[in-house]
Structure 1
Amino acid sequence: MSKGKNQHVVKHPEGWAVKGAGNEKATKVTSTQAEAIKVAKQIAVNQGSELLIHGKNGRIREKNTYGEDSYPPKG
């Protein structure tokens, strides 16, 4: 299974945007970060990719992997 593009939730002039890694245009723009996270999570789960949530300052504040983990926890 090929892995999809990682999804980023980033600040946008009209609120918050969901962007696929390397994409110039936003996949979706929402008014709240929570809404953008919901949309991005759905895409990441469907594609088996990562969700990276950026804060207002642009720094990554949270990262979640969906699908097959390349480095599963040992135990």
Structure 2
Amino acid sequence: MGKNQHVTPNSNGTWNVKGEGNSKATAIFDTQKKAIDRATKISINQQSELIIHDRKGKIRERNSYGNDPHPPKG
């Protein structure tokens, strides 16, 4: 299982894709949608979790692409 990926805002209006625990962004995008698209691909490839933050930095969404501890029943 790889590092969880975070989509976070920058003060200049751009969006980071950043692996959890990394000091530098993996990529920087001008829109949140582009950042989410890239982070989703990385999360799927690494079987990790995607955490999307809003403009204020608060977590607004989480998606698991790896070992989901709570798989759906049935």
Q: What TM-score does the superposition give when structure 1 sets the normalisation length?
A: 0.91
Aligned match of 1:46: 45
Paired residue total: 73
Aligned match of 1:23: 22
Residue 12 of structure 1 deviates from its aligned partner by 1.5
Deviations 1:22-55 (A, max 9, x none): 1110000000000000000000000000000000
Aligned match of 1:8: 6
Partner of 1:5: helix, strand, or coil?
A: coil
Q: 2:3 & 2:67 partners in 1: Cα distance?
A: 14
Aligned match of 1:62: 61
Q: 2:68 & 2:23 partners in 1: Cα distance?
A: 27
Partner of 1:17: helix, strand, or coil?
A: strand
Once superposed, which parts of structure 1, at least 4 consecutive aligned residues long, lie more than 4 Å away? none
Q: 2:67 & 2:57 partners in 1: Cα distance?
A: 27
Q: 1:60 & 1:28 partners in 2: Cα distance?
A: 19
Q: 2:20 & 2:67 partners in 1: Cα distance?
A: 18
> One-letter code of the match for 2:6?
H
Q: What TM-score does the superposition give when structure 2 sets the normalisation length?
A: 0.92
The gaps in structure 1 that reach 5 residues or longer are: none
The gaps in structure 2 that reach 5 residues or longer are: none
> One-letter code of the match for 1:30?
F
